[in-house]
Every structure is written in structure tokens, then in C-alpha cells.
């Protein structure tokens, strides 16, 4: 046995476990506390229209990820509708289409918006708005004729009064959003909304500008209307300008939905289109948020995590992942403390059954089963049966007793009594057999001692395994099992005394 | 703190703990492939007979259920015999028959047992009730030792035996286990048998330990247990030491009984001998084991090993 080999194995296992653990905590932002909450927004649009009984096609822009917000878990719901997604200029477009739409049609778009942590924003998922250029402005019809003249005149006036792009934009906003606009402005506003007029005038100046429709992400739930603002090119990046507050930048968290003057929807083969938009802030477990953000950041990494499993399989692993924890406790209780149990892993299986029965009822039911089973076993002894048939007979009786206990407790209205069915009956049978042998060979005292030892180990294991934090930590960070493995291997070479050996060798300690 | 203090005290006394025994001695000195030689008492017996080591005579073995009905034939000419499982441990499953009255047998404790009961017991043995892991087993029917009168006054029923721990072929510690009423005639210290330490050099009994108390006389017979010298002690040490050559196990416990007629007989060999011998001797095994592993691991023959033990382990 090479000591260097041994210790380096332990070291490598712990290091590996710890590194993955810290990576997940520090980089992926997995919370250590299962109760930690994180804020998300649920976005939903509900679209209804009247079908004409012919082919229908609805297009809608969808919200876009912008630092530090990311749109995840999108779903497009429409019965009998095909869905296609594509990118169109600076926008994302989803199209529902169906062969025949008759009567009232309902379509849903849902998405969850999450705020990324500061260090997570350096990722490709954010479709970086293309740098300001003609194409990235969306469709902006150029000014013509009298409108062009009015625009040039307005630009000339404003330009004289402003020092830089920012002041130019702000004074344009001020002039074009006035309650009673001057003649030039009135002409410009006669056929289009102010934001588009401002963008057009800025384009005349050679400054790229575009109209943005989006939503505010507020902390309070409220009905949401689409907000319109302006993005102006400044030093080759898009800078937002708030039209209502007449200022650079938008104070509230916001999310752009689409850019340009196009309407949110385009419909073919339908009438009476209505839509309702809702944005509701929501709390979700921070761990779910971390997993979802992780999927965005590094999907390959999470593809191999337990969270990627189907939910019902996850439930199984919530239990399985805790068995090693119980086994580790068992190693400590047996090899470091020195407790004796029936069978090596029997207490763990009993502890698993306690998960369903709860501790007190588990102990009561288990003791009843073992006690009744022992009585039957002692009776069977008189019949001089061979070992395997006798074991099978005890097993059958155990199953009968479990059934009887369930029925009785059900009629007495004790719900917990039903969970007796979850005891591992083969383990119960073997425990009865071994206990009766110890009883015969070593006396009832030793048998009861071992039984109580086994039960207390099972109870301790159950208490440890039922800690919510254990379940959470080991399920979220299965790499902790590597550390557990390292400790278990280390304990495998523990040659020190066991705690109960102090009592065993008491006599020698009392020597002068 | 008191726990740490107790640990350091135990370590100062050189007490061998269970973890230490398992990790260093049974795992380190005993090769797995030699375990079956001592775990199967039938093989132990035949290996010993080949090597010329005296063992209790084997009357017969019962290997399959069908043979159970042959029991009366096997023991037809014996009034006394012992039934034991070939793979038993800790004395479990052993029945000692001391007499026969018509179709009933008298156990060592005087209780009568019917042939049917006895056959059922053998069936249990065959189905593996007493073997490790429940594997099917064989029952041995062998000579019942008539122990040497030297222990007559200090044992209650059962068979007193001598346990010698042997490391690398060198005897390192020994004790006598005397059955008491409390232990129900069994030589198991847990259950209240009397453990008496032995001076390894001379074979003289030292103080005795009953459960956790030091005693000087047998609890049932009230006769003194200290200062008794076991005859031909060097022969016993030689016998124990030879087991190293026969079984190739570096750390073992050899159980020997003294028969009135045949002298020392090897009862069984244990590859995982218990730790209670330290309580009986009121001394730790570790200093002795260390001395042997450092200085006596490649002594040439049995005589050199026994001489080493007599020289160094004088109490």
C-alpha cells in the first residue's frame, strides 16, 4: 500500500469535488441556501382574432435579451398552429400559421425574463444590437417634399442651439412633444408619431436613430403598455433617450421588444385582432433561476447535471443521492464510534422507510413488526423447518402483518399506519432471522442491544437524511459526493481506537 | 478532552484496537487466499493431520440434507461427541453431547435433547444458519475432548481452551478461557467466561478477568485461578508456532485444548482473533507485535521462533 498514492487519491478527489462546487457557487451563482429567492418577470401576450375559415398567418415581434436581462423559457402556444422563428434586421419575429382558422382563435406567447449576475453578462446570448448603420435602424421612411423642407428647417433651428448630439436630441424631443407644436413641427407630426419624426430629422443630420418599442420591468405588478423610446447613435453605440422624461437613458429596467415603426402584429386571414400584454414580477427559487441562467451561459455543463433529468427521475435521485450520506454516517458510527448493527446497510434501508412513516411512527411500526415477527419465528422453530422455507414463511407472515397493520390503522384513522407498506420486507425478515439467532446463541440481552443499536443508527441516519439542507446541497452539488468518497476512503485506513473501545478496555485504563 | 486522554492512555498501554487490527494485521499479514484453510474446519483438520498436528478425531461429516438421517450410525459407537458447523464463528452452532439415554442425548449442561432436535440442528447448520453470509455449510461430528484434570477445579461445564496469538510464527500472547455458569459453558469472554492471562514464557496463569472485573478465583467453584502451571507449555507454543507454516497466515489465533488422554489438541485456528486477550492479560498487544515485526519476522524455524517468544515475552 503506497501512502503517497493513497493520500494523493484522497487529495485529488477532494480537490475535484471542491473545485466543481466552488465553480458552481461562485461562477454559476448556485445559491447555498435553498430558500434564497430571485426575481423574475413573466411576460405573456394573449392574442385573439376572428378566423375567416381560410389560411391564417400571424406574425409578432418577440422581446430581446439586453444586458443584463435575458429572455428564457419561451413558449408559443396555439392549437393547430405551426410556429417559426426568425431574425429580421434588428428584430426577432415569430410566425404562427395554420391551414384553416375558423371562429375565435387564441394564441399565447410566454417568456420568463431573468436578470443575469454582473459576471454572467459577457456571453453571446445577448444579440449585440448591430452597430449603428442604415440597416440596423429598422424601416424608416425618408422625408419627402414639404415634410423634408419642414424637417430641414427644424433641424437648422435646433442645431444652432445645441452643442452636441445629446443636446440636439433633447431639444428635438422637447419641440416635437410639445402640447401645441409650432408650424413646422405640426406638419411633421401630422402624419406620424413624434418618435418617428425625431428619428427622421436626426437621420437628416446624418445621425443614425431608431424607434424602439419595449416594456418596463417594474417591481410591482401592473398592467403594462408598450413603451416607446428612441435610440440614437453616439460614438458608434446605441444610446436610449426617454421621450416622456426628456432625458438620456431610461431610469427603470426595460426590455426592448422590437425596433422600427412596424406594428407589433401582422395578420393575414383574420380580423378583429386583439391582444393583451402582461408583465408580472415573480419570485422564484434562486436555484431554479441559476439553473435557467446556466442553461443560457453554459448549456453543455448543465446538460450533465441532475436538473436536466425528467422531473419524476429527479424525485428518485433526491432520495438516492442521500444514501451515500447515510452510508458515510454508518461508517462513522460503526468504525469510529463502534456501534453494532444487524447487517451492514440495514439501518440505511430502515432510515429510507422512515422518510415515509416519519420517525416516531417508523420506530413504533418497525418495533411492532420485528416483535411480532420474532414471536412467529420462535413458534416456527418448533416445527423444525429448513432454513430457506422458514425464511420464506417469515417473509409471508411479515407481509401479512404489514397488510393487517395497514388495515387496522386505516380503520382507526391513523394515516401513518398505512406507510408500514414501505418497509423493506426482505430486510425486516432477515433482521428477524438474525435477531433470533443472536437471541438463541448470545442471549436476549445481546439481541436487544443489537436491535436498539440498529434502530438508533437508523434513526440518526434518518435525521441526517431528512435535513432539507442535505437534500438540497447534495442534489444541487452532487460533486460533494466526491468529497464524501475521499473522506470515506480516508476513514478506510483509520486505525485509531473506536469510541466504545474506551468502555471495552475500561479495566485496563483504571490500572495504576 | 477526556476522550482524547483515554485514547492516548490506550495508546500508551499499547492496546490494539479493532480498526488497527483489521487494517494492519488481518489485512496486512493474512492473504485472502489462505482464509479458507482456517475458515473451513474440515480443511483445517485435514491439513493439521497431514502435518502431524494432533486434532480431535473426526467421526464423520454431514454435507447434504439426505445424510442427516445417518447421524445415529455415525455416533453409534460414541457416547460423547461434538457437532459443529465447518464455517461457524465465535462458538455459534456448537452442540456438545455428553451421553445417550435410550433415544435421547444429554447435552453438556445436562439438558436432554431428542434425536429429532439434533437432526434439525444439523439441518440448520447445513443451510448456512451459522456460516458467514449464509452460504451452505457442512456439519462436523468429532471427538468430545475430555479435558485435562488441571482445569477440573476451575471450570464449569464446557471445555476450557487456551488461545495463543501468533504473529509471523512467533507466539506473542496467550490466555486460558474458562467457562462459567454465566457463560452457559461457552468459552466466550463477552458472555461471562473467565479470561485468565498466561505468562507466555512459562505457561503460568496470571490474574483473571470476569467481564470487567479482576478476580482471583473461579466464580462458580471458588477455587483460585492464578499460579496454575500448564504442563508441557513449550509443546503448546511449538504447536501454535507451527500453524504459521501450515496455514501461511501472518496473524492468527490458535485455540488448543488439553485432553486427558491425547494431550494438546488443536481445536481451531482463527484468522481474525479477538482483542479480549488484552483484557485477560491486562496488557497491550502492540509492543509485542512491533517487536516481532521489527526483529523476528524471518526467524529460520519453529524452535527459533518459540525461543524468541520465551526470551522476550516473559511477564
pLDDT in tens, B241-258: 999 999 999 999 999 999
Inter-chain contact A442–B190, Cβ cutoff 8 Å?
yes
A218 within 8 A of A207, measured Cβ to Cβ: no
| C-alpha distances in Å from residue A251, one per residue of A109, A214, A485, B303, B306 | 27, 14, 51, 97, 94
Q: Does position B263 have pLDDT exceeding 70, yes or no?
A: yes
Residue reference for cell 426590455: A255
What's the whole-number mean pLDDT along residues A402-406? 85
How would you classify residue A217: left for phi > 0, otherwise alpha for psi between -120 and 50, otherwise beta?
A: beta
CB within 8 A of A351, min separation 6: which ones? A326, A458, A459, A461, A462, A465
For residue A491, the chain B residue with the least C-alpha distance is: B19
Distance to chain A for B43, nearest Cα, Å: 25
Give the pLDDT band of residue A83 (cuts 50, 70, 90): confident
| C-alpha distances in Å from residue A362, one per residue of A83, A327, A353, B143 | 53, 19, 7, 50
What's the whole-number mean pLDDT along residues A80-102? 80
On chain B, the residues whose CB falls within 8 A of the CB of A436 are none
Helix (H) or strand (E) holding A152: helix A145-161
Helices marked H in A383-424: 387-411
d(CA B63, CA B66): 8
Inter-chain contact B7–A502, Cβ cutoff 8 Å?
yes
Q: Does position B195 have pLDDT exceeding 80, yes or no?
A: yes
Helix (H) or strand (E) holding A149: helix A145-161
Model confidence over B217-240: pLDDT tens digits? 888 888 888 888 898 899 999 999
Model confidence over A340-395: pLDDT tens digits? 888 788 888 888 888 877 888 888 888 988 999 999 988 988 887 777 888 899 88
Distance to chain A for B147, nearest Cα, Å: 23
Q: Does position B214 have pLDDT exceeding 60, yes or no?
A: yes
Q: DSSP label at B91?
A: T
| Least confident stretch, A53-57, A121-125, B57-61, B284-288 | A121-125
Q: Does position A123 have pLDDT exceeding 50, yes or no?
A: no
Q: Does position A100 have pLDDT exceeding 90, yes or no?
A: no
pLDDT score at A293: 65
pLDDT score at A125: 47
Per DSSP, what are the bridge partners of residue A495?
none
Q: DSSP label at A334?
A: I
Top mean pLDDT of A51-60, A64-73, A177-186, B297-306 is at: B297-306
d(CA B1, CA A364): 37
Model confidence over A32-49: pLDDT tens digits? 777 666 677 778 888 888
Q: DSSP label at B272?
A: S
Distance to chain B for A499, nearest Cα, Å: 8
Question: In terms of C-beta density within 10 A (0-12 exposed, 13-18 middle, 19 or more buried), how is residue B272 classed?
Answer: middle
d(CA B272, CA B19): 12
For residue B121, the chain A residue with the least C-alpha distance is: A384
On chain B, the residues whose CB falls within 8 A of the CB of A507 are 209, 212-214, 279, 282
Residue window 239-278, chain B: list those with CB within 8 Å of chain A: 275, 278
Q: What percent of chain B has pLDDT over 90?
A: 34
DSSP per-residue letters across B58-81: EEEEE-SGGGGGGHHHHTTT-SSE
Inter-chain contact B279–A443, Cβ cutoff 8 Å?
no
pLDDT score at A511: 63
Distance to chain B for A369, nearest Cα, Å: 22
Model confidence over B26-44: pLDDT tens digits? 988 998 889 888 888 999 9
Inter-chain contact B279–A384, Cβ cutoff 8 Å?
no
Helix (H) or strand (E) holding B266: strand B263-270
Q: Does position A427 have pLDDT exceeding 60, yes or no?
A: yes
Give the pLDDT band of residue A332 (cuts 50, 70, 90): very high
| C-alpha distances in Å from residue A254, one per residue of A17, A169, A217, A242, B123 | 39, 20, 5, 11, 83
Q: Which CATH class is domain A37-128+264-289?
A: mainly beta
Question: In terms of C-beta density within 10 A (0-12 exposed, 13-18 middle, 19 or more buried), how is residue A412 classed?
Answer: exposed
Q: Which of A446, A492, A495 is the closest to B20 by Cβ?
A: A495
pLDDT score at A129: 54
| Least confident stretch, A120-129, A419-428, B264-273 | A120-129
pLDDT score at A124: 47
Residue window 459-498, chain A: list those with CB within 8 Å of chain B: 492-498
pLDDT score at A127: 46
| Least confident stretch, A185-194, A269-278, B60-69, B94-103 | A185-194
Distance to chain A for B249, nearest Cα, Å: 18
On chain A, the residues whose CB falls within 8 A of the CB of B124 are 386-387
d(CA B40, CA B63): 13
Torsion of CA A319, A321, A323, A324, to 10 degrees: -170
pLDDT score at A153: 77
Q: DSSP label at B226?
A: T
What residue segments make up the domains of chain A, in order of their start? 37-128+264-289, 134-207, 316-477
Nearest residue to A96 (alpha-carbon basis) of A276, A296, A280, A273: A273
Model confidence over A269-304: pLDDT tens digits? 777 878 777 777 776 666 666 666 666 666 565 566
Q: Which domains does chain B have, with CATH numbers?
A: 14-41+148-312 (3.30.470.20), 57-142 (3.30.1490)
Residue reference for cell 425618408: A142
Amino acid at each position: 500500500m503506497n501512502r503517497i498514492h493513497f493520500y494523493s487519491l484522497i487529495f485529488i478527489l477532494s480537490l475535484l469535488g471542491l473545485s466543481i462546487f466552488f465553480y458552481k457557487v461562485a461562477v454559476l451563482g448556485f445559491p447555498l441556501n435553498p430558500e434564497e429567492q430571485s426575481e423574475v418577470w413573466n411576460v405573456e401576450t394573449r392574442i385573439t382574432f376572428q378566423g375567416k375559415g381560410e389560411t391564417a398567418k400571424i406574425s409578432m415581434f418577440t422581446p430581446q435579451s439586453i444586458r443584463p436581462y435575458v429572455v428564457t423559457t419561451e413558449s408559443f402556444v396555439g392549437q393547430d398552429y405551426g410556429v417559426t422563428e426568425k431574425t429580421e434586421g434588428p428584430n426577432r419575429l415569430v410566425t404562427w400559421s395554420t391551414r384553416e382558422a375558423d371562429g375565435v382563435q387564441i394564441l399565447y406567447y410566454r417568456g420568463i425574463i431573468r436578470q443575469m449576475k454582473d459576471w454572467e453578462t459577457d456571453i453571446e446570448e445577448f444579440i449585440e444590437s448591430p452597430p449603428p448603420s442604415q440597416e440596423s435602424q429598422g424601416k424608416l421612411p425618408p422625408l419627402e417634399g414639404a415634410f423634408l423642407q419642414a424637417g430641414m428647417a427644424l433641424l437648422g433651428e435646433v442645431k444652432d442651439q445645441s452643442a452636441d448630439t445629446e443636446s440636439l436630441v433633447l431639444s428635438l424631443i422637447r419641440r416635437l412633444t410639445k402640447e401645441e407644436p409650432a408650424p413646422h413641427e405640426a406638419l411633421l407630426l401630422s402624419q406620424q408619431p413624434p418618435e418617428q419624426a425625431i428619428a427622421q430629422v436626426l437621420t437628416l443630420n446624418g445621425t443614425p436613430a431608431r424607434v424602439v418599442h419595449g416594456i418596463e420591468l417594474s417591481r410591482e405588478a401592473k398592467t403594462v403598455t408598450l413603451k416607446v423610446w428612441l435610440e440614437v447613435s453616439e460614438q458608434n453605440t446605441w444610446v436610449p433617450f426617454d421621450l416622456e422624461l426628456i432625458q438620456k437613458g431610461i431610469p427603470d429596467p426595460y426590455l426592448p421588444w422590437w425596433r422600427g415603426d412596424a406594428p407589433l402584429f401582422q395578420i393575414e386571414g383574420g380580423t378583429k385582432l386583439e391582444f393583451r400584454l402582461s408583465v408580472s414580477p415573480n419570485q422564484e427559487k434562486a436555484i431554479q433561476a441559476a439553473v435557467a441562467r446556466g442553461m443560457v451561459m453554459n448549456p453543455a455543463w448543465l446538460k450533465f447535471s441532475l436538473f436536466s433529468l425528467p422531473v419524476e427521475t429527479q424525485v428518485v435521485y433526491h432520495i438516492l443521492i442521500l444514501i451515500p450520506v447515510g452510508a458515510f454516517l454508518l461508517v462513522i458510527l460503526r468504525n469510529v464510534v463502534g456501534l453494532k448493527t444487524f447487517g451492514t446497510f440495514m439501518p440505511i434501508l430502515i432510515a429510507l422507510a422512515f422518510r415515509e412513516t416519519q420517525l416516531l411512527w417508523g420506530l413504533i411500526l418497525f418495533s411492532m413488526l420485528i416483535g411480532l415477527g420474532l414471536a412467529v419465528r420462535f413458534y416456527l422453530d418448533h416445527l423444525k423447518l429448513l432454513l430457506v422455507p422458514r425464511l420464506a414463511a417469515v417473509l409471508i407472515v411479515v407481509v401479512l402483518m404489514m397488510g393487517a397493520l395497514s388495515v387496522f390503522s386505516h380503520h382507526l384513522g391513523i394515516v401513518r399506519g398505512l406507510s408500514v407498506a414501505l418497509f423493506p420486507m426482505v430486510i425486516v425478515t432477515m433482521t428477524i432471522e438474525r435477531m433470533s439467532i443472536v437471541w438463541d446463541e448470545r442471549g436476549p440481552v445481546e439481541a436487544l442491544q443489537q436491535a436498539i443499536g440498529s434502530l438508533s443508527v437508523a434513526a440518526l441516519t434518518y435525521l441526517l437524511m431528512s435535513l432539507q439542507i442535505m437534500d438540497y446541497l447534495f442534489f444541487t452539488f452532487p460533486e460533494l459526493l466526491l468529497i464524501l468518497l475521499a473522506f470515506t476512503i480516508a476513514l478506510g485506513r483509520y486505525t485509531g481506537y473506536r469510541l466504545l473501545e474506551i468502555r471495552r478496555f475500561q479495566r485496563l485504563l483504571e490500572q495504576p | 478532552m477526556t476522550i482524547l486522554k483515554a485514547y492516548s492512555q490506550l495508546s500508551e498501554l499499547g492496546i490494539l484496537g479493532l480498526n488497527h487490527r483489521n487494517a494492519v494485521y488481518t489485512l496486512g499479514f493474512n492473504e485472502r487466499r489462505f482464509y479458507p484453510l482456517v475458515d473451513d474446519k474440515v480443511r483445517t483438520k485435514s491439513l493439521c493431520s497431514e502435518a502431524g498436528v494432533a486434532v480431535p478425531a473426526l467421526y464423520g461429516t454431514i454435507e447434504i440434507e439426505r445424510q442427516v438421517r445417518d447421524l445415529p450410525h455415525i455416533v453409534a459407537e460414541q457416547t460423547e461427541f461434538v457437532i459443529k458447523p465447518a464455517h461457524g464463528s465465535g462458538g455459534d452452532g456448537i452442540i456438545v453431547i455428553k451421553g445417550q439415554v435410550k433415544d435421547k442425548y444429554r447435552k453438556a449442561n445436562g439438558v436432554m435433547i431428542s434425536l429429532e432436535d439434533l437432526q434439525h440442528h444439523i439441518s440448520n447448520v447445513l443451510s448456512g444458519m451459522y456460516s458467514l453470509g449464509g452460504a451452505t455449510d457442512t456439519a462436523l461430528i468429532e471427538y468430545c475432548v475430555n479435558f485435562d484434570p488441571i482445569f477440573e477445579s476451575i471450570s464449569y461445564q464446557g471445555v476450557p481452551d487456551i488461545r495463543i496469538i501468533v504473529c509471523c510464527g512467533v507466539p506473542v500472547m496467550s490466555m486460558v478461557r474458562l467457562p462459567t455458569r454465566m457463560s452457559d459453558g461457552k468459552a466466550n469472554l463477552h458472555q461471562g467466561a473467565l479470561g485468565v492471562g498466561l505468562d507466555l514464557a512459562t505457561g503460568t496463569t496470571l490474574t483473571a478477568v470476569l467481564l470487567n472485573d479482576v478476580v482471583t478465583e473461579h466464580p462458580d467453584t471458588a477455587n483460585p485461578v492464578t499460579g496454575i502451571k500448564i504442563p508441557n507449555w513449550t509443546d503448546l507454543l511449538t504447536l501454535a508456532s507451527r500453524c504459521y507454516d501450515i496455514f501461511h497466515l501472518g496473524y492468527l489465533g490458535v485455540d488448543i485444548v488439553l485432553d486427558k488422554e491425547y494431550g494438546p489438541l488443536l481445536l481451531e485456528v482463527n484468522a481474525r482473533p479477538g482483542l479480549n486477550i488484552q483484557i485477560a492479560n491486562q496488557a497491550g498487544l502492540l509492543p509485542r507485535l512491533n517487536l516481532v515485526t521489527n526483529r523476528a519476522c524471518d526467524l529460520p524455524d519453529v524452535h527459533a521462533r518459540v525461543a524468541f517468544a520465551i526470551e522476550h515475552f516473559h511477564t
